[in-house]
Chain A
Amino acid sequence: MAVTRLAGVPSPARSRIGADRGPAAPGRRSRGGRPRSRVARLLRFAGIVPFVAYFAVFLVVPSVSVVSSAFETVGGNFTWANITAALQGTYLVSFEKSLELSAISAGLSAVLGTVVAIALASTANVAARRVVTSASAVFANTGGLPLAFAFIASLGNFGIVTKVLSAMGWNPYDHGFSIYTLTGLVVVYCYFLLPLMVLVMLPAVDGLRREWFEAASLLGARRRDAWRHVGIPVLAPAFLAALMVLFTDAFAAYATAAALTNGSIPIVPIQIGSLIEGNVLAGQQNVGDALGLGMIVVVAVAATLYARLQHRAARWQR
């Protein structure tokens, strides 16, 4: 009907009326007035297709699979048993160990990394800064088997550093230290977490303005007052956000711990690996998925905190 009535209408009016109805709508034209085809519109999104595909294959599909399997029996029926099993006994201990390991290694690395970042930000030695940041970028991305073997070769029972210290009369293994314990894992994790903290915190520390400290000083503040009232509060959101990143990084690390301790320390990723491989008990893969769901929840909480804190940091450092 509409087409029949529009047949004799002059073209400007027709296109105006037609604009409300469909094909010739201004909203479907490009800014220059040329009609935009469906293909052209689809092409606008072509650039993000690889990312979406990657995201779907390596994050969404596995996550959905883990979550659904966590509530299924081996036969595919709904059950709470996997969740219940994951929250008691050895598995609950593994969560406690994982949280302990992640919290200590992330906390230590965060504090020391911030100190290094502050030192780098305040040094006038540009070359030193460049060397340290470059080295940090390399160390922050070193992990897995090579890192584990590097530490075994250096700080293991018969490692070079251990031998040198022994020759000097102080064998760390005689004083309770072992690279194959939770303490040893903390030391190894700090190896890649501390440089990561330096890289993450350096821009935030660079954002501290000299004028804030000078103004505080002229208002009567000592150096520590200025840090207490201005420097630390301004850095706090960035620090806590970076701490979250380190925590999740440590919480999810698997290969280094597996290679170093051979599964003797029951952290969650190692438990999941054992359950999926069926090393301990056959048919327990779904409990592994329940542990995986627990990890997702922990990381999601950390990521939410990170996002909120990052938002506050961005607001202050505009």
Chain B
Amino acid sequence: MGSETGTLEHEAAQRANGRHLDRSGVRVELVECERRFGDVAALDRFSLTIEPGELVALLGPSGCGKTTALRALAGLEQTDAGVVRIGGLDVTGLPPNRRELGMVFQAYSLFPNMTALDNVGFGLRLRKRDAPTRRRRARELLDLVGLAAQAGRFPHELSGGQQQRVALARALAVEPRVLLLDEPLSALDAKVRAQLRDEIRRIQLEMGITTLFVTHDQEEALSMADRVGVMASGRLQQLGPPDEVYERPVNAFVAEFVGSVSRVPATVGAGSTVEVLGGRIPLPDSQAAFAPGRRVDVLLRPESLAVRADPRGLGLVVRRSFLGPVMHVVVALPGKIEVLATLPSSSASEVVVGSAVSVEATGTPLFVTEPRELDA
């Protein structure tokens, strides 16, 4: 540990001398990390590797352990077991101030007694950079996040979005090895959130900095990340590119958590097919081993359901939501089943609330799982 710490300090010294390290980022590893709060396992043999320059988003419901994982990487939370490595060095026992990380918190992390410029320059001040140097660097970073004109303002004189931009600039000012984002957009309104999301991604790509982003907003995770990790009960359920997580979930939890799905009872048919909603569709390739005749639930995306106005249909439209080019339609089926389908708005004029419709599954189900009764 001592030599590794020494190496970190050596790297810091190199930076101070102007010999910058490779800006393409460092590899981050959390290996078999565990953290318990009483009886609750916030991290349960949690392992994650982030490649240099990569942005990984941890996604999951409240209490799944995603923030604990990020805080363990930051050193703000001590793990009960496991190893944390940054750039190949074991930093498990290092305090946060020696890990050379930058972090943007959910909100309210700017120092209220300092202007935006002083907030951004704070890390450089601790590194004993002279005042002109840190002011110049702070102004550059404020310019990068579009807030050069607000350099002299105190945090309470800035909007929520501006405060988060300053927090991002402050985190980047110290040229961190890894950038940590702890739900930095969750306190912002939708428009600012979308704008800042794009800015963070642009800056992260420009700087090539390895980034861990924690969020409960799947749209944020899917749109920003190189890879998305879905967590539940302290464990990583799936880690992969956004399209893979969305289209090929490894279990029912991931399928139901990422995107919208409808759970419909079905029976496995012959030839790797499944009989559902009166029709027959192929089983997913990865799940072709189900024995014929077995009762299952299939998870279907809204776009995999075709809804047509049909006076003899068994479905009853109970809700519909206009979303511009498409319409979301919720249909009640016999057996207390509700399904969500997406229709082109142009063809949904006859599918009105209270009307009878027929519902048909098309394509391949997202996932096939045990019936819910058996799960319970």
- Tell me if A218 and B126 are in contact (CB < 8 A): no
Q: Is B257 an interface residue (CB 8 A)?
A: no
Q: Is B282 an interface residue (CB 8 A)?
A: no
Mostly, the A contact residues are: helix
- Tell me if B174 and A215 are in contact (CB < 8 A): no
Q: Is B97 an interface residue (CB 8 A)?
A: yes
Candidates A209, A211, A216, A234; contact of B122 at CB < 8 Å:
A216
Question: Using a CB-CB cutoff of 8 Å, which residues 76-101 of chain B contact chain A?
Answer: 76, 95-99, 101
Candidates B96, B102, B108, B125; contact of A209 at CB < 8 Å:
B108
Question: Using a CB-CB cutoff of 8 Å, which residues 170-189 of chain B contact chain A?
Answer: 170-171, 174, 180
Chain A residues within 8 Å of chain B by Cβ, number: 21
State A219–B99 Cα separation when bound (angstroms): 9
Candidates B74, B112, B125; contact of A234 at CB < 8 Å:
B112
Mark contacts of B104-144 with chain A using CB atoms, 8 A cut-off: 1 yes-contact digit, 0 otherwise.
01011111110000000011011100000000000000000
- Tell me if B111 and A220 are in contact (CB < 8 A): no
Q: Which residues of B contact A219 (CB under 8 A)?
A: 97, 102, 122-123, 126, 170-171, 174
- Closest B-chain residue to A234, C-beta based? B113
Q: Is A20 an interface residue (CB 8 A)?
A: no
Q: Is B10 an interface residue (CB 8 A)?
A: no
- Tell me if B101 and A218 are in contact (CB < 8 A): yes
Q: Which residues of A contact B36 (CB under 8 A)?
A: none
Q: Which residues of B contact A216 (CB under 8 A)?
A: 111, 122
- Tell me if A222 and B97 are in contact (CB < 8 A): yes
Q: Which residues of A contact B174 (CB under 8 A)?
A: 219-220
Q: Which residues of B contact A318 (CB under 8 A)?
A: 112, 156
Number of A-B contacts (CB under 8 A): 74
Q: Which residues of A contact B167 (CB under 8 A)?
A: 215
Q: Which residues of A contact B50 (CB under 8 A)?
A: none
Q: Is A221 an interface residue (CB 8 A)?
A: yes
Q: Which of A220, A225, A234, A317 has the most CB of B within 10 A?
A: A220
Q: Which residues of B contact A230 (CB under 8 A)?
A: 111, 113
- Tell me if A315 and B156 are in contact (CB < 8 A): yes
Q: Which of A219, A233, A315, A318 has the most CB of B within 10 A?
A: A219
Q: A220-B97, A229-B111, A316-B113 are in contact. Are A214 and B122 (CB under 8 A)?
A: no
Q: Which residues of A contact B171 (CB under 8 A)?
A: 218-219
- Tell me if B103 and A215 are in contact (CB < 8 A): yes
Q: A212-B109, A219-B170, A219-B174 are in contact. Are A229 and B122 (CB under 8 A)?
A: yes
15 of the cross-chain contacts (CB-CB < 8 Å) are A212-B109, A212-B112, A214-B76, A214-B103, A214-B109, A216-B111, A217-B76, A218-B180, A220-B97, A220-B98, A220-B126, A229-B125, A233-B113, A234-B113, A317-B112
Using CB atoms and an 8 Å cutoff, list the residues of chain B in contact with chain A. Answer: 74, 76, 95-99, 101-103, 105, 107-113, 122-123, 125-127, 154, 156, 167, 170-171, 174, 180
